Structure 1
């Protein structure tokens, strides 16, 4: 659950991201998050603000700012890896991160710990009295439909 340093606004998505065709939760959908990437996330109500088709990775890395290694950070997308090309990378592949989800990520050397090709989402949600805007990323299996 290393993610407590995420900013409240996730910013724009990387260049080259393609919208997912026929996602389970289209943009505007109200969902409940089942992921616990950070405290207060699990069971939070969220609104889908973007859904994309790409390769999505869990990574292990040591922050460029120092500190303890981060294990199984979920998630970074293909477009957030320097020189990754278009093909899905195998577990164990060494990569360089090109994103700043958390301090010390941009430029950090990382190892692919796992991956998925399921749709990946940007969501807005309320957590511990704060609104997280355009939070990146949650994969489709980490959310469920909100009950009406």
Structure 2
């Protein structure tokens, strides 16, 4: 029983520390991304609020996106709790290829599987054409602890418009600003 409480306390501390940010963001939560990692004990938790609002070098704004900057859309995805069904305000729209990846954090720990999303411009020395499923790449994105510099395997690739969005989680809590990334297929018009 003591071991279970110790594991529970450790998981809670990990989850809380991942949500803290570094205090340099002026109160904004940027690039809010989460991925569930299942341990052998069955716990799931792996969340981070990236503090960078910078775009990767080479990002190209979408010329005619389905959702314009400043408009609202309903999110139909659950990269993290409270996203599915939340009303998002579009903060940016970019043409690229979005990738779902699996990787082991450079900081150690459990392998992260099916992390959605990184984009073509977040791959070290990216080639001009999209990568195929199964390709190994080096990640330059810093969405999660231990992601930057990790060697990842591409699970899927989707040429699409990706959106940076602001939203308030349906589960409550502080508004999230500049979440990177939501694909066009994960958004629906507000009715």
TM-score for both structures, normalised by structure 1: 0.94
Could you list the runs of 5+ residues in structure 2 that have no partner in the other structure? 1-33, 37-45
The separation in 2 between residues aligned to 1:61 and 1:108, in whole angstroms, is 7
State the number of aligned residues.
147
Contact 1:55 1:77 in 2 (8 A): yes
Q: Deviations over 1:52-78 (max 9, x none)?
A: 001110001011111111111000001
Q: Name the CA shift for 1:35/1:20 in 2 (closer, same or farther; >3 Å).
A: same
Shift of 1:118: 1.4
Contact 2:91 2:178 in 1 (8 A): yes
The separation in 1 between residues aligned to 2:160 and 2:52, in whole angstroms, is 21
Q: Does 1:36 align with 2:69?
A: no
> Could you say which residue in structure 2 is the equivalent of 1:118?
160
Q: Which structure has the higher relative contact order (CA within 8 Å, separation 6+)?
A: 1
Q: Name the CA shift for 1:109/1:8 in 2 (closer, same or farther; >3 Å).
A: closer
Greater fraction of residues in helix: 2
The separation in 2 between residues aligned to 1:135 and 1:10, in whole angstroms, is 10
Q: Does 1:107 align with 2:140?
A: no
The separation in 2 between residues aligned to 1:105 and 1:8, in whole angstroms, is 11
Q: More deviation in 57-66 or 8-17?
A: 8-17
Shift of 1:129: 1.5
> Could you say which residue in structure 2 is the equivalent of 1:137?
181
> Could you say which residue in structure 2 is the equivalent of 1:2?
35
Q: Does 1:78 align with 2:120?
A: yes
The separation in 1 between residues aligned to 2:58 and 2:129, in whole angstroms, is 14
Shift of 1:139: 0.1
TM-score for both structures, normalised by structure 2: 0.73
The separation in 1 between residues aligned to 2:66 and 2:48, in whole angstroms, is 26
Tell me which structure has the larger Cα radius of gyration: 2
Shift of 1:9: 4.7
The separation in 2 between residues aligned to 1:21 and 1:8, in whole angstroms, is 27
Q: Where does structure 1 differ by over 4 angstroms across 4 or more consecutive aligned residues?
A: none
Shift of 1:26: 1.0
Greater fraction of residues in strand: 1
